[in-house]
């Protein structure tokens, strides 16, 4: 459990890696991190990231990494709920970025906001190979594109 912490001015805010399962990151303040506020990847499954304040991340607020390494090591069955994600990345920044063959995510009740100019910024991007991504009751504001879904229809 990573709860009620202040994480700021690192390269990575909260970094899930190497098979973190059934973890909880809740009630954290994650500020001004150079790359990502929250990064979830290498076989990290069944985790909950809930009620965090994620602001001013250098590339993306929340990243689901493309982690194959020749096996099914994508970050499946994770839940992103009730977070406030503000001002992620540079001119082409992304609030929530889902890469690789990540599947079975629940992204619900998040506020994803851009207070700077929209530029080419995206609230949530779903990669071409992602599957079964449930989006529910999320609020997006200030982006050039709220949701970009690269999967084939």
CATH number at residue 135: 2.160.20.10
Instruction: Supply the pLDDT for residue 88.
Output: 97
Q: Is residue 72 a contact partner of residue 99, using CB atoms and an 8 Å limit?
A: no
* pLDDT, the chain, mean: 96
Instruction: Supply the pLDDT for residue 71.
Output: 79
Cα(25)–Cα(48) distance, integer angstroms: 6
Distances from the Cα of 64 to the Cα of 7, 38, 97, 142, angstroms:
19, 9, 6, 22
One digit per residue, the tens of pLDDT, for the chain of length 153 reads 899 999 999 999 999 998 999 999 999 999 999 999 999 999 999 999 999 999 999 999 999 999 877 778 899 999 999 999 999 999 999 999 999 999 999 999 999 999 999 999 999 999 999 999 999 999 999 999 999 999 987
Query: What is the pTM (predicted TM-score) of this model?
Result: 0.96
- Closest by CA to 106, choosing from 70, 144, 129, 79, is 79
Write the pLDDT tens digit of every residue in 66-101. 987 777 889 999 999 999 999 999 999 999 999 999
Cα(140)–Cα(145) distance, integer angstroms: 9
**Which residue range forms the structural domain that includes residue 111?**
2-149
Q: In sequence order, which residues have a C-beta less than 8 Å from that of residue 140 and are 6 or more positions away?
A: 95, 112, 113, 123, 124, 146, 147
Instruction: Supply the pLDDT for residue 37.
Output: 98
The total number of structural domains that make up the chain:
1
Give the torsion sign (CA, 86, 122, 72, 137): positive
Instruction: Supply the pLDDT for residue 125.
Output: 98
Q: Which two tokens stand for residue 102?
A: 């990540």
């Amino acid at each position: 459990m990573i709860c009620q912490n202040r994480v700021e001015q690192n390269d990575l805010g909260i970094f899930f890696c190497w098979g973190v399962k059934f973890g909880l990151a809740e009630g954290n303040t994650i500020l001004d991190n150079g790359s990502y506020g929250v990064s979830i990847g290498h076989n990290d499954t069944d985790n909950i990231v809930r009620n965090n304040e994620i602001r001013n991340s250098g590339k993306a607020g929340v990243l689901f990494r493309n982690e194959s390494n020749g096996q099914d090591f994508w970050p499946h069955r994770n839940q992103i709920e009730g977070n406030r994600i503000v001002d992620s990345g540079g001119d082409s920044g992304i609030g929530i970025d889902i890469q690789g063959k990540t599947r079975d995510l629940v992204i619900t009740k998040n506020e994803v906001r851009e207070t700077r100019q929209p530029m080419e910024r995206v609230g949530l991007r779903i990669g071409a190979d992602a599957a079964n991504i449930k989006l529910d009751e999320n609020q997006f504001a200030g982006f050039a594109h709220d949701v970009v879904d690269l999967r084939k229809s």
